Amino acid sequence: MADADLPGGAADLPGGAADLVVRGARCVATMDADRRELSDGWVAVTDGFVSAVGTGDAPDAATVIDATDCLVTPGLVNAHHHLFQNLTRAYPPMTDKPLFGWLQSLYPLWRTIDAESVHVSAWVGLAELALSGCTTSTDHLYLHPRGAGDLLTAEIDAARDLGIRFHPTRGSMSLSEKDGGLPPDDVVADDDEILAACEEAVARHHDRSSGAMTRVALAPCSPFSVTEDLMVRTAELAERLDVRLHTHFAENAEDDEFSLATFGCRPMEYLERTGWCTDRTWVAHCVMPEPDEIRRLGAAGVSAAHCPSSNLILSSGIAPVVDLRAAGVHVGLGVDGSSSADSASLWLEARQAMLLTKLRDGAASGSARMALEIATLGGAACLGRQGELGVIEPGAVGDLAVWSLTGPSYAGALADPVEAWLRCGPASARDTIVHGRPIVRAGALESPAVETMLAEHARLAARVQRLAE
């Protein structure tokens, strides 16, 4: 039990003993306002929230995790994904096509998804993320084939079963090939139908409470797959329901060209004229903005999910992360769908972000600390949960990642545990803790369902890929 005589800050623990303590860390990178990094650090979690942090002797708790030789960070936040795409991971014919051709090749396979395949792909995809230290993920689920069932509920059930914090978006597509868009006719819906489904999804699943495990945002797929009217009305609905807005934005040159040819303006102006330039918006990619557009994004309080691996695989370009941050844009990190960035590891994306920033803006610009910041605080801002997610301080949620800095990969990395974390490796989380509950221990998922779900996933992925032939 916690005791008033215990040294090291334990006496300050409110309400006595904690539920969980992570102690003895080589470093706790708090990501708090002072960016405190605590040697021999500990973190106590009570009722799902961080109740105290300190150094030296730690308070007692029902669950004690020894973090000797480990770095402890806030749980990483994934700000962009399409979980269902792991059903067509690394699908061979698509690997040499840029964005539009790649999408049009895969739509015929994806149109076969249903509630079962969405549930299983979400479970497996979120499990993969948890193994990389992710404790909160969004999902941009924009594909709702006619008759496929309630796909949003199917993926929310998967997240609940796994125990990961989840911000799914009710995505949509309304502009099919016959109307000048990209997707096939049978996966688009009518604008009124989409808006009704969005409103119902928020009413049913959106939890506004502090520490919420599930929140819903509204997310038309992209300017090239929805009508302008749907963009406008979705922004109005998000305002009325007080939920966040998400879409793809300025992903590559094709995106710019489509916007100029179809709307007569660049993607930035389109975002502005549809009412999306607000601080409830976070966009995915943001590879192509010009300097003045970067300034306007920052002034509006728009956030952006940087998806480095996807941008590399699809040869889209390198997002101007340093310039965006300098302009006040909150930049988070996204793994993007597993058909375009086929590995869904937030650690890997953080490393890619660090390396690309060094390449684009100079070696000193892309530090491990910058990458950690966008993977935690930046993601929290994208999801509208600053101060609650992505930071280790009393009152924040008890979401933690514990990273072992031992073994051959870290031999000799004595000087700086945070730089070592991202420059050595590859790394997976040793322990991933969500709302005070470990869901990964010793590098393995705690759920007993892993093998069953992987077998189901193999069956369903084969079905999706075979049926389309």
Contact residues for Zn ion, defined by CB under 5 A: 336
Beta carbon of residue 74, minimum distance to Zn ion (angstroms, whole number): 24
81, 411 Cβ separation under 8 angstroms: no
**37 contact partners, CB below 8 Å, separation of at least 6:** 27, 28, 29, 30, 417, 418
Task: Using the minimum distance from each CB to Zn ion, give the nearer residue, 81 or 165.
Answer: 81
Task: Using the minimum distance from each CB to Zn ion, give the nearer residue, 256 or 336.
Answer: 336
For the chain, what's the residue count? 469
Number of residue whose CB is nearest Zn ion: 336
Beta carbon of residue 384, minimum distance to Zn ion (angstroms, whole number): 19
**97 contact partners, CB below 8 Å, separation of at least 6:** 105
Task: Using the minimum distance from each CB to Zn ion, give the nearer residue, 191 or 336.
Answer: 336
Task: Using the minimum distance from each CB to Zn ion, give the nearer residue, 51 or 259.
Answer: 259
**133 contact partners, CB below 8 Å, separation of at least 6:** 73, 75, 76, 346, 347, 401, 403, 428, 429, 432
Beta carbon of residue 80, minimum distance to Zn ion (angstroms, whole number): 6
Beta carbon of residue 98, minimum distance to Zn ion (angstroms, whole number): 14
Residue type for position 425: G
Strand order of the β-sheet with 431-434 is: 37-38, 27-29, 70-74, 400-404, 431-434, 437-441, 444-445
Task: Using the minimum distance from each CB to Zn ion, give the nearer residue, 37 or 336.
Answer: 336
Residue 148 DSSP class = -
In the numeric block, which tokens belong to residue 315? 């040869």
| Burial class of residue 124 (count of CB atoms within 10 Å of its CB; 0-12, 13-18, 19+) | buried
Task: Using the minimum distance from each CB to Zn ion, give the nearer residue, 336 or 431.
Answer: 336
Beta carbon of residue 245, minimum distance to Zn ion (angstroms, whole number): 15
End-to-end CA distance of the chain: 62
Beta carbon of residue 252, minimum distance to Zn ion (angstroms, whole number): 12
Beta carbon of residue 82, minimum distance to Zn ion (angstroms, whole number): 6
Task: Using the minimum distance from each CB to Zn ion, give the nearer residue, 74 or 125.
Answer: 125
In the numeric block, which tokens belong to residue 156? 């929310």
What is the C-alpha to C-alpha distance for residues 279 and 239, in angstroms, rounded to an integer? 11
